[in-house]
Amino acid sequence: MLSVFTNPRSRGREGHLARAFDLLAASKSAQTPVGVVKSAGRKKEEKWLATLGDMDFEPVDMTSLVIVGNKTTYVQDGLMITPRGYTL
CA angle 58, 80, 77 (to 5 degrees): 110
Check pLDDT > 80 for residue 79.
yes
Local confidence band at 86 (pLDDT 50, 70, 90 cut-offs) = low
Percent of residues, the chain, with pLDDT higher than 90:
82
The H or E element containing residue 45 is none
- In sequence order, what are the beta bridge partners of 4? 67
Q: How many CA atoms lie within 13 A of 10 on its CB side?
A: 5
Domains and CATH numbers, the chain: 3-81 (3.30.950.10)
Torsion angle, CA of 42/62/8/56, rounded to 10 degrees? Answer: 80
